[in-house]
Structure 1
Amino acid sequence: MIAALGAFDGFHRGHQILLKEARRLSDFSGARWGVVTLTPHPQLLFSPKSPALLFTEQERHRLARFLSVPQYVRIPFTRETADLSPSGFLDALHALCGIKGVVVGSDFRFGKGRSGNVSFLERESRRRGWFFTALEQMRMGGTPVSSTRVRRVLLEGNLMETAELLGYPFFVSGPVVRGDGRGRTLGFPTANVAVPAMKLLPPDGVYACVVFLNGKRHAAAVNIGRNPTFPGARARRFEVHILECDADLYDRVLSVFLLQRLRPELHFSGPAELVARVKEDVAAAKCVTALLSPEEDSVLERLSRDENLLVQERSTVSVE
């Protein structure tokens, strides 16, 4: 296997050049290729206070499908795995995947205490007879494309730049759960999507978005926040009003593709003022989705598909 190695939180454009190189080496050598990553993300094991991640495991799986990754190998990341020496990690990797070559970023580190680097990996690959490529970080606007940069831009509410860095719109997937039912009484029923705790979200506010239901694209508006217009403390919510939709969505898993921030979350004097502003938000969201290019439409449609992909759960060998 030609393995593209990495954490791959987001499969952003920088990651995608690794996939392209792995595919090239596969075509050259005749060996199969795929992504090998760790689950859960190493940050979640070693740093409980680490920043939330861009995508859940299920969402990363969807992105692998979207990017036509033929094999997506997720190695459970445990204390045992973390304690493997760099050589031990490569031995385990080969035993699990039958490695013929590796593709990594130039800043790739692995093994106990992140003691293995690209120079070591290059020497080991040569000794083991593997193909090897280390690629410099892709740059956009003069700055490297990284998951850290994507998180920063997302937290600024800049969904358009986030999509530029990712190569596709940021999205949120989760089951629809019961809310207060207040939106329906106001004339704007919403689907309350349960977002995993580790999932990073943009700042509170209203966003233009797209939702696919039964293969049909719908414009929608999302409110992220705590509904400050109404009394009482409540947890942060992710509420979606889908245009031209009367379906009962409870318990259904919904994927919401965020396109543009329309405004911050505001406190209104009462329901009447809120309804008037929501009407403006819905009109703006409809306008944003109407201006999508054919290429953007195609990306959204492909992301919404649920095709089969070979997913392999592997276990590491014992610690050296």
Structure 2
Amino acid sequence: MKVFRNFTDYTSHRPLALSLGMFDGVHLGHKSIIDTLINVGKKNDLETAVLTFWPHPRFIFNPNEDLKLLNTVEEKKFLMEKYGIGNLFLKEFDEEFRNLTGEEFVRQILIEKLHVKYLIIGYDHSFGKNKSGNFELLQKLSEELGFEVEQMEAVNIHENNISSTKIRNALSAGDIKKANEMLGYSYAVSGTVVHGKKIGRTIGYPTANIDTDSIKLLPKKGAYIVEVWIKGKEYKGMLSIGTNPTVNGEKLTVEVYILNFNEDIYDEEITVKFRDFLHDEIKFEGLEKLIERLDEDEKLTENFIF
């Protein structure tokens, strides 16, 4: 997959089958669009491409909003390539771009620069200044400018539309199974293993503290069953998101106890994939009660079928 930060870097004049949007999470609804895009490309001998924005436009329009995303840019690139996209445009949402009307965007970017012949958009997608671009505009312009346009229906699970917002809400409620079902894969968080207070090792549960990307959404505070990936190997783990209230902690930390593992992994990159929710964050009366609960969590994790 080729990745472009600027349209001027794209030199191929082979026509494109393209979709545009944020694609945060690259969830099953997005995958439906991607699969259709790839089929159209094969049928019509077109290259495939996705045009998305980085950073998220909401950071520009609502700078005080504490928006967290389902994907880092690297995760989004990985998923797009995994699903078979040929070209990915990661456009900065700068002042010039945000002032383009929907029609200007179609004429100047999609047609003149990218030579789009087939355009697919999601069921609720709008674009351009003041959201002036929509499916009706695309239908009107398609005849004049010589491209085809298709609007995808929403993908449903249990009669509910899948959306990035609904996935964020599920994660924020600790509903890992629901979030993963809509994503089509296990929600993951990556980061570097850093030094912590090392309290866990004193009670028989040494944990790896993970320094995560500040842009990435963390599920609600609590304990989780996770897959842990280190140096290409998979382990079972129990992960805690919280402030360690039992020992009067204040800073939010992400810590994982890795079952059947005893290696020094400081400064290593680690990925955890969330599989199930164990319980909310608890302030125990003392370390003895904490250890009892950790013993229970370890049994549940050990018996969990990955």
Normalised by the length of structure 1, the TM-score is 0.86
Taking only the aligned residue pairs, the percentage that are identical comes to 32
Counterpart in the other structure of 1:12: 27
Please state if 1:151 is matched with 2:168. Answer: yes
Stretches of structure 1 lacking an aligned partner (at least 5 in a row): 293-320
Are 1:284 and 2:290 matched, yes or no?
A: no
1:182/1:14 CA distance change after superposition, 3 Å: same
Q: Aligned partners of 1:287 and 1:47: how far apart in 2? A: 44
Question: For 1:161-240, what aligned pairs fall within 5 Å after superposition?
Answer: 161-231=178-248, 233-240=249-256
Match of 1:101 in 2: 118
Q: Which residue of 1 aligns with 2:132?
A: 115
Equivalent position of 1:139 in the other structure: 156
Shift in CA distance, 246/68, structure 1 to aligned 2, threshold 3 Å = farther
Contact 2:230 2:269 in 1 (8 A): no
Quick one: structure 1 residues 97 and 286, their matched pair in 2 at CA, closer, same or farther if it must change by over 3 Å? farther
Whole-Å Cα distance in 1 between the matches of residues 34 and 84 of structure 2?
A: 9
> Is the CA contact (8 Å cut-off) linking 2:38 and 2:85 kept in structure 1?
no
**Counterpart residue identity of residue 40, structure 1:** P
Residue 43, structure 1, aligned to residue 58, structure 2: yes
Secondary structure (helix, strand or coil) at the match of 1:3 reads: strand
- Report deviation, 1:121: 1.5
Whether contact under 8 Å (2:50, 2:89) holds in the other structure is yes
Q: How far apart, in 2, do the equivalents of 1:9 and 1:279 lie?
A: 37
Matched with 1:299 is: none
The match for 1:2 is 17
CA RMSD of aligned residues (A): 1.6
Task: Tell me, yes or no, if structure 1 residue 268 matches structure 2 residue 281.
Answer: no
Q: Runs in 1 of length 4+ with deviation above 6 angstroms?
A: none
User: Counterpart of 2:53 in 1: which secondary structure?
Assistant: strand
Higher relative contact order (CA 8 A, sep 6+): 1
AA in 1 matched with 2:105: F
CA drift of 1:95 comes to: 4.5
Aligned to 1:242: 258
What are structure 2's unaligned runs of at least 5 residues? 1-15
Q: Quick one: distance in 2 between partners of 1:276 and 1:106?
A: 49
State the Cα distance separating 1:50 from its structure 2 match.
Answer: 5.0
Counterpart-to-counterpart distance in 2, 1:124 and 1:69: 25
Specify whether residues 212 and 147 from structure 1 end up closer, same or farther in structure 2 by C-alpha distance, changes over 3 A only. same
* Contact 1:208-1:286 within 8 A present in 2 as well: no
* Structure 1 residues 35 and 186: CA distance shift in structure 2, 3 A: same
TM-score, with length taken from structure 2: 0.89
SS at match of 1:194: strand
Residue 92 (structure 1) aligned with residue 99 (structure 2):
no
| 8 Å CA contact retained: 2:225, 2:237 | yes
User: Aligned partners of 2:39, 2:135: CA distance in 1, in Å?
Assistant: 20
Shift in Å, 1:216: 2.2
Deviation digits for residues 124-153 of structure 1, max 9, x if unmatched?
A: 233221221111211222221111111111
String of CA shifts for 1:36-55, please: whole Å, max 9, x gaps.
11111111211131532222
Paired residue for 1:78? 94
CA separation in 1, counterparts of 2:69 and 2:115? Answer: 30
Residue 250 of structure 1: how far off its partner (Å) = 1.8
Distance in 1 (CA, whole Å) between partners of 2:201 and 2:294 is 13
Provide, for residues 242-265 of structure 1, a one-character-per-residue CA deviation record: whole Å limited to 9, x for no partner: 112222222222111001000111
Give the aligned partner of residue 82 of structure 2.
66
CA distance in 2, matches of 1:50, 1:108: 23
- Matched residue, 1:28: 43
Cα distance in 2 for residues equivalent to 1:282 and 1:66 = 33
Answer with 31-40 or 62-71: which moved more: 62-71
Q: Provide the rounded CA distance (Å) in 1 between the counterparts of 2:206 and 2:87.
A: 40
2:291 alignment partner, SS class: helix
Deviation at residue 239 of structure 1 after TM alignment: 0.5
How many residue pairs align between the two structures?
A: 289
Distance of 2:58 and 2:173 partners within structure 1: 22
Q: What secondary structure, in the 3-state scheme, does the structure 2 residue paired with 1:229 have?
A: helix
The 3-state SS of whatever aligns with 2:218 is coil
Contact 2:230–2:271 (Cα < 8 Å) also in 1: no
Shift of 1:59: 1.8
Secondary structure of residue in 2 paired with 1:37 = strand
> Offset of 1:214 from its aligned partner?
2.9
Once residues 236 and 117 of structure 1 are traced to their aligned partners in structure 2, the CA distance between those partners, rounded to angstroms, is: 41
Query: Which residue type is aligned with residue 14 of structure 1?
Result: G
